[in-house]
Structure 1
């Protein structure tokens, strides 16, 4: 089994804690089905745009949205890349939400097959671990070899070890650590002839969803990388030969960068939800209904229609005030509450 070498930096711990807090705030909102569907479609479009843009696809986001809406039967390669990614992302999300998604080399191959469907001449390069050696060239100096991935004879075993690690730690490691470790190691293994980055980011999305980040359909961490592609490649990649890395691969630095990307995207999602209705418990609704029926209510009047304790009733008022659903009017003994704006 693969045994990654990394340290837990205090900055990483702070980011993971803030991710938990932000995620809790998002989950506390009540998402109507129509709103959830809109957010999901918007996130898929953004992911499809960003993940393919990272690999050099020139289509702007406006064209990507238009393309996904029309879904033409015939498409150029640049358009097919977008359509393929979106289809693979939909499949990944459906499989995760249904509990059918499995972390395995076969699944990785399936995802890669969807990503590059119709884009490669050699059928043996589609949906299969590579059978040939590859080299990674420096994009700024094409005559310079930046990284030598492992030999193709070793790829299957390396993938097997990686997925064994994932499955053994799915319930043990924090989702951010688990997904981040997979992401970088998969890029270093470079298991396919093409589509490695896109397939890896899709699998990373699945791991986040499987291991606890259950709002994953409405966020797009790929856009964080797309804003500074050079930095992303510097963080996720390495220089030299895979076999010379040993314990020197920079997983610790990558995990900090990776977690900050997740937090950045969750913050974006959080900002997009200001008009959504906060989560209401039955007792909150009783209080709101009473105010609607009588125009206002006092603490004493709420006590007459509720069997909750005095402390709980005060908390109910405090929560609805904080959410802006009610307003306090008057002072002292004349305090009463009306519906908010």
Structure 2
């Protein structure tokens, strides 16, 4: 892995007469150390290129990029039911639209069923909309609750050199995951997304087991890339930030992209098969947890499906767990991303610092 220079960026106060296009430009006079340069955030919005404007969506408020006074209170606990309700509101509309179409368009009509290409385009757009709402949701909590370790170091901006590759990867991620879900789920154009049809009544249990199976494969892959130097070079790019933000959860090299976007979900689907519409629900929850873990929001926030089930066994994952993983860098620990089941079994847990229940 090549060394990364540490640079200092002086952020100047914003001129009170400045144009409104300076949105998301840091306003406080601070000296902020970055592992790599992120000069794009200093540009007025209108002068940012298309990739930088898309990366702007990932930015939280100024306070998340400035060292804050240490918070002596433990992180508050976020309501799991509130988050389940948010997920239902964000995930359900796409399924409801397709179900209503099948209900309203006569069966003898040529347009009654959705061709797989139409379904791919529709759910791909829906997935992008979900991710945009998710980033807004996560940055809101970052602004309200602050972030872990903020008294030592704030969140990292996306580096200049990573803006385009990151946005490209996000687009690749959404296409492959959407298409993969339709293929692995054996999309049946004649089955509407209804309970008892293409969605099992036991879908929460099935998705929970699918996510645990995915975490099994991810754990051993993730531990290997941290253990063996010849593999670390493929994963080190993801660790170019020690204090990431939601969008940086997808920051990776080409080989890592193939493994994490395609091969690991494939392995999970061989263990616990899901229908195409169940896969749509599962992938939304998956990206939710991945974004959550990289937000650094200073709150006790666990997995919406399996978190409370695993909590009595101290195997639930929270935001601080993956945040510590990034701070530890190559030395690793906390390799799971959906749970701490395998970290607990194989003793690779890094104990929490701020999120200790009292």
TM-score by length of 1: 0.30
TM-score by length of 2: 0.29
Higher helix share: 1
